[in-house]
């Protein structure tokens, strides 16, 4: 296993268990304890863990994750995002125009559908645009606007002017919070005008969110929960929250 793959797997274990032990990781990966310590040093440099005697504990709260720039969140919840992306890809039909919003979970969706030629993709994410320009095969439209550097996304009035007359079959977007009562919420008010317009012009709205987003409430409400047609999350999301969201008439898929 290559070092980046091993580090991502260690992060997955930390997310699942909350802590790791150097000796157990050494045995699991069949590498030296010194190798594992160096891996943990790299993870610690990302402010994701606190080192302990003989191991480490996970140190990313929901609020801290939301503060991280987009590029630094790509490896967080990697296995969940991959499962969500695979499930979401199954919801896309031929000849549809699909808008991929900014964020790391939507980037995983882009990677999952990169080989398809039977759909068209519109996006305001520079990261997704780059991903599909290099590896995709489908028609690709990029949206301009004001650059939000932390997310590498284009937002604001210029973006709205470009998208307001478009027809979008399916909108796929991430949210900081997904709550049956408080709705779809985000942490950046600058995104609201763009996201609200996208929801308005799209036939179907698909929210992709790892389990930590289900039940979380962020600072700014983008839309009511009923404005989403589908939510794709994972089986470890709060069962109570999932059932309450379903009671509101929203389909929830568990990857």
User: Given this model, what pLDDT does residue 71 score?
Assistant: 61
**Mean pLDDT value across residues 148-169:** 90
pLDDT band (50, 70, 90) for residue 64: very low
Better-predicted residue by pLDDT, 101 or 187: 101
* Percent of the chain scoring above 90 in pLDDT: 65
Query: pLDDT tens digits, residue range 205-240?
Result: 999 999 889 998 888 899 999 999 999 999 989 899
User: Given this model, what pLDDT does residue 14 score?
Assistant: 80
Q: Which CATH class is domain 70-254?
A: alpha beta
Query: pLDDT tens digits, residue range 162-212?
Result: 999 999 999 999 999 999 999 999 887 778 889 999 999 999 999 999 988
pLDDT band (50, 70, 90) for residue 72: low
Q: How far apart are CA 127 and CA 132, in angstroms?
A: 9
Is 1.10.10.10 the CATH classification of the domain at 3-59? yes
pLDDT band (50, 70, 90) for residue 44: confident
Half-sphere exposure of 95 toward its Cβ, with a 13 Å CA cutoff? 0
pLDDT band (50, 70, 90) for residue 68: very low
The domain limits of the chain are 3-59, 70-254
**Mean pLDDT value across residues 144-150:** 87
Mean pLDDT (the chain) is 90
Better-predicted residue by pLDDT, 9 or 241: 241
Single pTM value for the model: 0.75
- HEC letters along the chain: CCHHHHHHHHHHHHHHHCEEEHHHHHHHHCCCHHHHHHHHHHHHHCCCEEEECCEEEECCCHHHHHHCCHHHHCCCCHHHHHHHHHHHHCCCCCCCEEEECCCHHHHHHHHHHCCCCCCEEEECEHHHHHHHHHHCCCCEEECCCEEECCCCEEECHHHHHHHCCCCEEEEEEECCEEECCCEEEECCHHHHHHHHHHHHHEEEEEEECCHHHECCCCCEEEECHHHCCEEEECCCCCHHHHHHHHHCCCEEEEC
pLDDT band (50, 70, 90) for residue 70: low
pLDDT band (50, 70, 90) for residue 63: very low
User: Given this model, what pLDDT does residue 30 score?
Assistant: 93
User: Given this model, what pLDDT does residue 218 score?
Assistant: 86
At what angle are helices 33-45 and 22-29 packed, to 10 degrees? 110
């Amino acid at each position: 296993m290559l070092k980046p793959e091993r580090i991502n797997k260690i992060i997955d274990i930390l997310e699942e268990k909350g802590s790791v032990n150097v000796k157990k990781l050494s045995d699991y990966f069949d590498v030296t304890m010194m190798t594992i310590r160096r891996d943990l040093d790299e993870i610690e440099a990302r402010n994701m863990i606190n080192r302990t005697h003989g191991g480490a504990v996970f140190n990313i709260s929901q609020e801290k994750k939301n503060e991280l720039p987009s590029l630094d969140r790509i490896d967080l919840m990697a296995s969940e995002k991959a499962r969500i992306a695979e499930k979401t890809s199954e919801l896309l039909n031929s000849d549809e125009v699909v808008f991929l919003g900014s964020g790391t979970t939507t980037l995983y969706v882009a990677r999952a559908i990169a080989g398809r030629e039977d759909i068209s993709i519109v996006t305001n994410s520079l990261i997704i645009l780059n991903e599909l320009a290099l590896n995709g095969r489908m028609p690709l439209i990029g949206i301009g606007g004001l650059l939000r550097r932390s997310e590498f996304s284009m937002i604001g009035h210029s973006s709205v002017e470009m998208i307001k007359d478009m027809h979008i079959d399916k909108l796929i977007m991430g949210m900081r919070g997904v709550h049956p009562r408080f709705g779809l919420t985000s942490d950046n008010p600058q995104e609201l005008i763009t996201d609200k317009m996208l929801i308005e012009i799209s036939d179907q709205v698909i929210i992709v969110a790892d389990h930590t987003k289900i039940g979380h409430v962020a600072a700014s409400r983008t839309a009511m929960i009923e404005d989403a047609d589908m939510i794709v999350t994972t089986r470890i999301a709060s069962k109570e929250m999932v059932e309450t969201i379903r009671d509101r008439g929203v389909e929830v898929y568990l990857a």
